[in-house]
């Protein structure tokens, strides 16, 4: 035993060498993870911009959109950076002074110049789309509508942006691009959950658009899109003259033509009791939406509110013609419409009115009952309850609310059950719901027909995987080192054997 001297022999690897190797491995791992993170980190965002002017019948709004420069084709990347309301009325009201339509845009366009970085000005596209107000002006006098468009074009060309044109968009485009906007903002094109329909109410027209399983019975109401690899078969219709301002004229004209007018006083159940205003006949008949003019009538009349919600509903129903339908199903005025399907987003004046009346969360029956109650509130009480609300809007909310509920139920055939599928919305993720975003996405080719190739792992997943793997390798190295380092006991061989 004494000869067999136990001797601890150090691990054949020299200790400092092992430490050096471990340090190098650790440095390697850190460098690997850091490189992966830096390489995959979104670059310092550079934004691009686009401007769309919504030249509506009642007013013009200028929308500025922005998106990360390197992610143009990714869905959900474009957002509204700014919206500016042009002072004054819509461009169609400048038919007597077309130049005024051009100069009305200056304040908002100056704002756009300040908001968009100067080095992006030249490449920023500007589009102007005019809707139903200009469609009506074109019907009345196309040279006047051309003059107004020329004037806004001259004005927009004076800015350092990339002017792309001013035109009257079709009702189909207005409906379809509104549908694209709400579904793009809700990120529905990537989800399996499907899309939502779009309901847009303006002053001079209203649009309904939704994906329908039915085979379209009228090609004018159908639009097909392929977006992010999926086909969409849309039903869409725009009712010219069925925006809330034109429908009010239509309803007043019907009353004026009937026997309800006595001694220049027009009693109107859709206006509050105590409401009394002197109006000219031309303010009602100055539109191509009202076909039959009044003969032998006074130049003005007293518009006298009686505030009866039920009677108002009956009067509003008369603006829908249900007698002629040459298809299997119609909405109204002989227009083909398959049954409504799925959820809907209702925006623009649908939202303004329903939100003011506090009806956005009610079922159809409750909304109707609350509206009847609202309509019966005396005008003086209404005025004192809402001193800051524009008097024109305030006077018309009873009519507008009644029109909206009647349009949805009697016009589009929503039932108490399907009415629950309508959400009244102003914005989605900070961007306004409306046709403008969809219009720009389409014209800048930012909605690809096929889904863009995406890396198999998202950025976060990739970095996490790298970290986990690195930690695993590191632990294995430590474990391995510990195993090697365990002292090995050698017995010194007896000398005689050697």
Ligand X SMILES: O=c1[nH]cnc2c1ncn2[C@@H]1O[C@H](COP(=O)(O)OP(=O)(O)O)[C@@H](O)[C@H]1O
Residue 134 or 227 having the CB closest to ligand X: 134
Asked if residue 132 binds ligand X (CB under 6 A), the reply is yes
**Cβ 91 to Ca ion, closest distance in Å?**
13
Residue 245 or 409 having the CB closest to ligand X: 245
176 annotated to bind ligand: no
Residue 304 or 352 having the CB closest to ligand X: 352
Identify the residue whose tokens are 């649009």: 207
Single out the residue of 29, 53, 55, 56 in contact with Ca ion (rule: CB under 5 A).
Answer: 56
Identify the residue whose tokens are 């609350």: 370
Question: Residue 47 CB: number of other CB atoms within 10 A?
Answer: 14
Do 226 and 253 contact (CB within 8 A), yes or no?
A: no
Residue 177 or 414 having the CB closest to Ca ion: 177
306 annotated to bind ligand: no
Torsion angles phi and psi, residue 280, rounded to 5: -85, 150
Asked if residue 80 binds ligand X (CB under 6 A), the reply is no
Which residues touch 101 (CB under 8 Å, ≥6 apart)? Answer: 91, 94, 148, 151, 152, 155
Q: How many residues bind ligand X (CB under 6 A)?
A: 20
Which of ligand X, Ca ion, none is residue 353 near (CB under 5 to 8 Å by kind)?
A: ligand X
Asked if residue 168 binds ligand X (CB under 6 A), the reply is no
207 annotated to bind ligand: yes
**Cβ 443 to ligand X, closest distance in Å?**
19
Asked if residue 244 binds ligand X (CB under 6 A), the reply is yes
Q: Give the Cα-Cα-Cα angle 30, 36, 39 (nearest 5 degrees).
A: 130
Asked if residue 338 binds Ca ion (CB under 5 A), the reply is no
203 annotated to bind ligand: yes
Instruction: Give whole-number Cα distances, 33 to 25, 39, 46, 243, 388, in Å.
Output: 12, 10, 25, 59, 59
Which of ligand X, Ca ion, none is residue 221 near (CB under 5 to 8 Å by kind)?
A: none
Binding mask 434-453 for ligand X (x = CB under 6 A): --------------------
**Cβ 303 to Ca ion, closest distance in Å?**
26
**Which token pair is 340?**
């409504």
Residue 216 or 348 having the CB closest to Ca ion: 348
Q: Which stretch binds Ca ion (CB under 5 A): 70-78, 198-206, 224-232, 267-275?
A: 198-206
**Cβ 331 to ligand X, closest distance in Å?**
18
Do 165 and 128 contact (CB within 8 A), yes or no?
A: yes
Do 57 and 90 contact (CB within 8 A), yes or no?
A: yes
Which of ligand X, Ca ion, none is residue 58 near (CB under 5 to 8 Å by kind)?
A: ligand X
Q: How many residues bind Ca ion (CB under 5 A)?
A: 2
Residue 51 or 204 having the CB closest to ligand X: 204
Asked if residue 90 binds ligand X (CB under 6 A), the reply is yes
Active site residues per annotation: 174
Asked if residue 131 binds ligand X (CB under 6 A), the reply is yes
Separation CA 37–CA 466 (nearest Å): 9
Binding mask 366-395 for ligand X (x = CB under 6 A): ---------------------------x--
Strand partners, 207: 200, 238
Separation CA 310–CA 406 (nearest Å): 11
Which of Ca ion, ligand X, none is residue 175 near (CB under 5 to 8 Å by kind)?
A: none
Residue 55 or 375 having the CB closest to Ca ion: 55
Q: Which stretch binds Ca ion (CB under 5 A): 200-208, 221-229, 339-347, 390-398?
A: 200-208
Single out the residue of 245, 268, 308, 409 in contact with ligand X (rule: CB under 6 A).
Answer: 245
Do 204 and 470 contact (CB within 8 A), yes or no?
A: no
Separation CA 471–CA 245 (nearest Å): 67
Separation CA 389–CA 387 (nearest Å): 6
**Cβ 314 to ligand X, closest distance in Å?**
23
Q: Which of residues 351-370 bind ligand X (CB under 6 A)?
A: 352-353
Single out the residue of 149, 251, 349, 354 in contact with ligand X (rule: CB under 6 A).
Answer: 349
Single out the residue of 50, 98, 125, 133 in contact with ligand X (rule: CB under 6 A).
Answer: 133
Asked if residue 202 binds Ca ion (CB under 5 A), the reply is yes
Residue 248 or 441 having the CB closest to ligand X: 248
**Interface ranges with ligand X (CB under 6 A):** 56-59, 90, 131-133, 202-205, 243-245, 348-349, 352-353, 393
Annotated binding-site residues for ATP read 203-207
């Amino acid at each position: 035993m004494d000869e067999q001297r136990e001797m601890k022999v150090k691990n054949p690897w020299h200790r400092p060498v092992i430490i050096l190797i471990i340090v190098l491995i650790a440095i390697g791992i850190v460098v690997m993870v850091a490189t992966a993170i830096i390489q995959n980190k979104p670059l310092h965002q550079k934004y691009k911009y686009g401007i769309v002017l919504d030249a509506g019948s009642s007013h013009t709004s200028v929308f500025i959109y922005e998106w990360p420069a390197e992610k143009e084709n990714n869905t959900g990347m474009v957002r509204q950076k700014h919206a500016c309301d042009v002072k004054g009325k819509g461009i169609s009201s400048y038919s007597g002074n077309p130049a005024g339509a051009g100069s009305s845009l200056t304040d908002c366009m100056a704002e756009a110049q300040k908001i968009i970085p100067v080095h992006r000005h030249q490449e920023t596209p500007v589009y102007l789309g005019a809707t139903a107000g200009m469609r009506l002006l074109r019907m009345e006098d196309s040279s006047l509508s051309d003059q107004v468009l020329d004037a806004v074009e001259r004005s927009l060309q004076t800015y350092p942006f990339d002017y792309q044109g001013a035109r009257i968009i079709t009702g189909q485009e207005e409906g379809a691009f509104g549908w694209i906007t709400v579904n793009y903002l809700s990120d529905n094109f990537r989800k399996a959950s499907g899309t939502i329909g779009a309901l847009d109410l303006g002053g001079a027209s209203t649009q309904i658009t939704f994906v329908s399983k039915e085979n379209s019975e009228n090609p004018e109401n159908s639009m097909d899109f392929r977006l992010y690899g999926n086909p969409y078969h849309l039903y869409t219709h725009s009712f010219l003259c069925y925006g809330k301002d034109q429908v009010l004229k239509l309803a007043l004209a019907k009353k004026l033509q009937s026997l309800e007018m006595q001694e220049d006083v027009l009693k109107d159940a859709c206006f509050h009791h105590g409401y009394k205003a002197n109006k000219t006949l031309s303010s009602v008949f100055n539109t191509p939406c009202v076909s039959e003019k009044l003969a032998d009538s006074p130049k003005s009349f007293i518009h006298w509110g009686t505030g009866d919600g039920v009677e108002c509903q009956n009067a509003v129903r008369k603006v829908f013609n249900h007698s002629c339908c040459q298809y299997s199903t119609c909405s109204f005025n002989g227009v083909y419409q398959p049954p409504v399907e799925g959820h809907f987003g209702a925006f623009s004046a649908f939202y303004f009115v329903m939100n003011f009346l506090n009806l956005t969360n009610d079922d159809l029956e409750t909304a109707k009952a609350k509206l009847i109650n609202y309509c019966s509130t005396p005008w003086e009480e209404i005025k004192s309850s809402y001193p800051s609300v524009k008097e024109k809007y305030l006077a018309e909310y009873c009519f507008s609310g009644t029109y909206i509920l009647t349009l949805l139920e009697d016009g589009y055939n929503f039932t108490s059950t399907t009415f629950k599928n309508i959400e009244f919305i102003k914005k989605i993720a900070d961007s306004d719901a409306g046709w403008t975003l969809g219009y720009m996405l389409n014209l800048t080719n930012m909605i690809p027909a096929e889904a863009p190739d995406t890396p198999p792992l998202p950025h976060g997943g990739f970095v996490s995987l790298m970290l986990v793997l690195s930690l695993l390798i590191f632990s294995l190295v430590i474990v391995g080192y510990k195993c090697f380092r365990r002292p090995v006991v050698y017995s010194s061989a007896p000398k005689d054997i050697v």
